[in-house]
Amino acid sequence: MVDKVLKKYESKIPLSDGDIKILLGANQNEREKIFALARKVRERYFGNEVFLYGFVYFSTFCKNNCNFCFYRRNNGVSPRYRKSAEEIINAAVRLANSGVHLIDLTMGEDRYFQEHFDELVNIVKEVKAKTRLAVMVSPGVLSDGQIKQLANAGADWYALYQETHSRELFRKLRVEQSYDERMNCKKTAKSSGMLIEEGLLTGVGETADDKVHSFREMQRISASQVRVMTFVSQKNTPMETPKIPDFSGELLDIAIMRLLFPDKLIPASLDVDGISGLEQRLMAGANVVTSIIPPNEGLAGVAQSELDIDDGHRTVSGISDTILKCGLKISTPQKYRETIEELRYEYSDNRLQASGG
């Protein structure tokens, strides 16, 4: 069955929901075939080049209580910090000098920055000016006016993960939050000229139908970067479990997303199982390595708050050998700029078509 679906794909026939479900049910032998095709598709669109994203998680304060998250409001054991503008900009410059192609400025939904929004806007402007790199902002849910301010400050990307597109599951994961408000923020970001990243969490009780629905939603909202991460149990949270996370579903999702989003950016996240899981994610068809974090600056990851950070493994030099081992190479800033310009162009083209223009 899987062979048939892959043949159909190679004949350029769009995959149906049923086809995607067949791929999601693939056995190990069949999975290897899906990974191989995903690599071929990546090669077709991106050659052998991958992009690197630097990550500055500058505030771990959050007003929300997502059940899966270590930094949820009610978790008294998660370390809280809020970096100053100077610390954030310096970390971004160091990351830029180390060779990343984008700076991802991420925070929990920290009331401080929501109330002192101009500070955040200035940080985006300064990071952009001092690094001359693309900037992604991951600030959580904002008002339309705030999103527009970030776009005007030069932010290229707005990342806001739904984690699931099943409303029922959303209510269990992102308690006390509005599904629609979150989706609408992405719409506003797009109409303000930013590219959007959408994300899924896997291993949280989702069904194959939920996954197919999520992939379709990601297509519908024209996400230019799509990511999937495996749920990792967090200490002192309602979803804490002794179960060891199984990353195999994430690898299959990456490969299927490569088939469904051939020309889009798909991250291999170091945040799930560190440097040891990078090779498998790249071999499944990812073409972005995130989250590269400068060591010894007191900056955390998200799902794995400390893994591989202070020993310097989550750095450009720490991942270079793995990239080479996969037959890939680190791309250039120029190529990254061209790629996001193409993604923007494609989007504006879609908009014209949708409006009949």
> Contacting ligand SF4 (CB under 6 A), which of 57, 71, 158, 336?
71
As a whole number of Å, the end-to-end CA separation of the chain is 41
Per-residue mark of binding to ligand SF4, 91-120 (x: CB under 6 A) = -----------------xx-----------
The pair of three-digit structure tokens given for residue 273, joined into one six-digit string: 């199982």
Interface region with ligand SF4, contact rule CB under 6 A, candidates 9-17, 69-77, 95-103, 240-248: 69-77
The DSSP letter of residue 262 is: T
Stretch that binds ligand SF4, among 63-71, 93-101, 122-130, 205-213 (CB under 6 A): 63-71
At residue 320, the 3 state secondary structure works out as: helix
Closest CB to ligand SF4 among 19 and 109? 109
What string of H, E and C letters represents the secondary structure of 26-48? CCHHHHHHHHHHHHHHHHHHHCC
Tokens read off for 230: 């495996």
Q: Choose one: 28-36, 67-75, 258-266, 346-354; the region binding ligand SF4 (CB under 6 A).
A: 67-75
Distance of CA 12 to the CA centre of its chain: 27
- Of 5 and 150, the one with the shorter C-beta distance to ligand SF4 is 150
Dist. CA 77–CA 92, nearest whole Å:
27
- Smallest separation (angstroms) from ligand SF4 to the CB of 68: 7
CA dihedral for 94, 95, 99, 104, sign (positive or negative): negative
Q: Which residues pair with 106 in a beta bridge?
A: 57, 138
- Per CB under 6 A, the list member of 20, 37, 52, 69 interacting with ligand SF4 is 69
- Neighbouring CB atoms inside 10 A of 52's CB total 23
Q: By rule CB under 6 A, what string of x and - marks binding of each residue 253-292 to ligand SF4?
A: ----------------------------------------
| Among 15, 34, 50, 66, interactor with ligand SF4 by CB under 6 A | 66
Least spacing, CB of residue 53 vs ligand SF4, in Å: 18
Do residues 2 and 30 touch, judged by C-beta distance below 8 A?
Answer: yes
Which amino acid, 23? Answer: L
Which one of residues 140, 274, 294, 318 is an interface residue with ligand SF4 (CB under 6 A)?
140
Residue 72 interacts with ligand SF4 (CB under 6 A)?
yes
What does the DSSP assignment read for 138-195? Answer: E--S--HHHHHHHHHTT--EEE---B-S-HHHHHHHSTT--HHHHHHHHHHHHHTT-E
Contact of 109 with 142, CB cutoff 8 Å: no
Shortest Cβ 21–ligand SF4 spacing (Å): 28
Q: Determine contact, residues 35/283, Cβ cutoff 8 Å.
A: yes
Residue 169 as a binder of ligand SF4 (CB under 6 A): the answer is no
Question: Residue 204, interface with ligand SF4 (CB under 6 A)?
Answer: no
Stretch that binds ligand SF4, among 40-48, 62-70, 229-237, 341-349 (CB under 6 A): 62-70
Least separation in angstroms between CB 305 and ligand SF4: 11
The residues of the shown chain that bind ligand SF4, judged by CB under 6 A, are: 62, 64, 66, 69, 71-72, 108-109, 140
